[in-house]
Amino acid sequence: MGTQKPLVIGIAGGSGSGKTSVTKKIHHVFKEHSVVVIEQDFYYKDQSHLKFEERLATNYDHPLAFDTDLLIEDIEKLLIRQAIEKPVYDYALHTRSSETIPIDPKDVIILEGILILEDQRLRNLMDIKLFVDTDADLRIIRRILRDINERGRTIESVIDQYMSVVRPMHNQFIEPTKRYADIIIPEGGHNEVAIDLMVTKIKTILDSGNEL
């Protein structure tokens, strides 16, 4: 391999849907191959020009929070097998970090994030588009557990953020992108059948030289 165009797989879904689990399982199967995961979360806009108080008001679930132009630019570079410097986001300072992560070109690019199917230019770069579709009650339970255990949040603050930002943004921007998916995977990482079908499809494409 190495001469044919890299395969781009988009994996979208709401917060707590299990899209990261799906991404990890697909990545694990192909770990002997040449695979890279690009997380949309790394591409939040630089906010260094804003005061810290203003940065705190950022709505991270809105399409405008992301530097989609830079993400598209980087995917296009990887597609012609150029290395990129993946940005890093500093969540403590609410702006982009000065450090970057060097990423070499790979045969398979997995693009993962809540809103990766929202921009048509980004969709046009994808060979396979997945949407991980999980019931809202499961997604909020996972989010509550994650934010309390990993981020030291209170249950009140997590629920308040969910009701005021996460839920309306999901309904307005994330849920509608399901229509663009080639495959909808219910129940995320627990859906072994869907993941096995996906893995088989990817193997077929890789073996046939990217003929979709």
- In eight-state DSSP terms, residue 135 is -
Residue-wise DSSP of 69-80: HHHHHHHHHHHT
Domain span holding position 138: 7-203
Which residue type, as a one-letter code, is found at position 117? Answer: L
Q: Average model confidence (pLDDT) for the chain?
A: 91
Q: What's the rounded Cα separation, in Å, for the pair 89 and 48?
A: 11
* Cβ-based burial of 124 (10 A; exposed 0-12, middle 13-18, buried ≥19): exposed
pLDDT in tens, 132-181: 999 999 999 998 998 898 878 899 999 999 999 999 999 999 999 999 99
d(CA 32, CA 129): 23
Number of domains making up the chain: 1
Q: Is residue 176 part of a domain?
A: yes
Model confidence over 44-94: pLDDT tens digits? 999 999 999 999 889 999 999 999 999 999 999 999 999 999 999 998 899
Of 204 and 81, which is predicted with more confidence?
Answer: 81
d(CA 48, CA 97): 9
User: Does a structural domain hold residue 2?
Assistant: no
Domain CATH for 171: 3.40.50.300
pLDDT in tens, 108-117: 999 999 999 9
